[in-house]
Chain A
């Protein structure tokens, strides 16, 4: 069974501070995908990143960076120099790599609500 844990339900930071959102996952699969999605107040989930389990190289995209560590089953997300527009709910998710019933089932964490205070 797959499980994604986002222990931080809500985080508040002051603008320009760095913030890290934690994600810990469980899976019995050796091949899998990990994701982060952003859900702004408008409600629509915005895809941020996908990593596969064979690629542990950390990734940086502008102010966003992701730290994938298989040894600790974690896929943490850091926002550097946070901005008010970063305020949203962020979801970590996990998917099997194989097709089961014709699709790859995605398991989501409960989300971390980030509030960036001006």
Chain B
């Protein structure tokens, strides 16, 4: 597949459990983004990766949230001790990054719907 893929598509967990959400970006895309879409809310930026480093993690809502990226490709978003307010759709996007005035579109995956009971 040529697009961004995410797994699982749906995840139901109990409050207090840890969850891992996976994102496979488009091959060759060096930039990777995580967003959260809560009911009735827009897309909330969580974290950005350039390669394996995260220059901007300002959107992570608490220290229960962490993310990593390995090999400049796959990324995992981990939520520890999940709470009911973590229930949302978690979207991943990837893009090329270039300098100057070039703009590179973010291509989105289908998202992971997380439900915390």
Contact = CB atoms under 8 A, between A and B. Distances in A.
- Whether chain B is bound by chain A comes out as yes
Interface in A94-118: 95, 97, 99, 101-111
A62 interface: no
Interface string A26-63: 00000001000100001111010010100000000000
A105 B103 CA distance: 11
Interface in B89-117: 89, 91, 93, 95, 97, 99, 101, 103-111, 113
B110 A105 contact: no
B43 A91 contact: yes
B42 A44 contact: no
B108 A45 contact: yes
Contacts of A43: 89, 110-111, 113
Contact of A44 (B40, B99, B101, B108): B108
Interface residues of A, number: 28
Nearest to A113: B40
Contact of A110 (B42, B101, B109): B42
A45 B91 contact: yes
A101 B56 CA distance: 7
Nearest to A100: B56
A4 B106 CA distance: 18
B62 interface: no
A110 B40 CA distance: 7
Contact of B97 (A44, A102, A105): A102
Given A43-B110, A111-B42, A103 B105 contact: no
A46 B35 CA distance: 15
A91 B41 CA distance: 11
Interface of B: 31, 33, 35, 40-43, 45, 48, 50, 55-56, 89, 91, 93, 95, 97, 99, 101, 103-111, 113
Given A50-B103, A103-B48, A108-B35, 12 more contacts: A6-B42, A43-B113, A44-B109, A45-B91, A91-B42, A93-B43, A97-B103, A99-B97, A101-B56, A102-B55, A103-B95, A111-B42
